[in-house]
Amino acid sequence: MKHPSPPRHLLFLPGLLAGLFVSHAPAQTSTQTVLSRQVVEAGDHKIIFERVTPPVREPGPAQTTAAEVAAETSAEPEPEMLLLSCTVHQGEMTEVRWQTARGEFTVWSSINFHLLGPVDRFEHEGWAWRLSYGIGDEAELLPALTAFRALPQPGSGAVWYHVAQAPAGAVAEDYAGVHALHRYFEANRAELETRHAQRLAENAARAVQRAANPPVKQDTVIRFWPVQSALHLGTSTEGKEAGQ
């Protein structure tokens, strides 16, 4: 699929058993009948084993009709995935890495990628991407950040700098997703910054709440039930215990 090429001025040089059910919350009501119960003390909480009647299998989902299949296939094509590996330097700029069929790419971005936390899908000029990235922080003043500060800065604009040697055969399409993400950020900067500030405030409030009211470790409930062996023969009543 061809993507719009980024403007040239933005490119700069260098097992558990099936059915086992474990709950870490207090014992809850269930449609299954408890046949026996054993409580084991585990220091700051209890482990509760409950033998219950087998669960009733729910009816399967209705079959998809031909009309529904046709509607799904006529929908818009699935967005492309943009998978990134990011390192934020002192909350000021982000080193961004990704792979294409041509190899690995590395750029410096003027965006603090923590601001993109709520973004998992974005669009630009009629094209759509799904965004997935791993992110880490670098607090030290590394040469990469010093070099970034020496580059021409765009003011309030969001730009990326191509600072590493591009893989052989690289084409503009390899940068299309990253370029589009920067344009999306520019268009939604105010909202993203507001939502990020709200998340930081909410996280701080939760931390204070947890410190004032440390959570009490809850009991673990393990429910299991007897099932007949699939290998039993004749009148054999041999069985096994299965869990959920």
- The span from the CA of 60 to the CA of 187, in Å, is 45
Residue 2, C-beta contacts closer than 8 angstroms, at least 6 positions apart: 173
pLDDT tens column, 188-215: 999 999 999 999 999 999 999 988 988 8
Extents of the domains making up the chain? 76-210
Q: What is the pLDDT of residues 117-148, one digit of tens each?
A: 989 999 998 899 999 999 999 999 999 999 99
Sign of CA dihedral 126, 130, 134, 136: positive
User: Rg of the chain over CA atoms, in angstroms?
Assistant: 27
pTM: 0.61
What type of residue is 11? Answer: L
Residue 27 pLDDT class (50, 70, 90 cuts): very low
Q: 90 with 139: CB under 8 angstroms? A: yes
**What DSSP state is assigned to residue 243?**
E
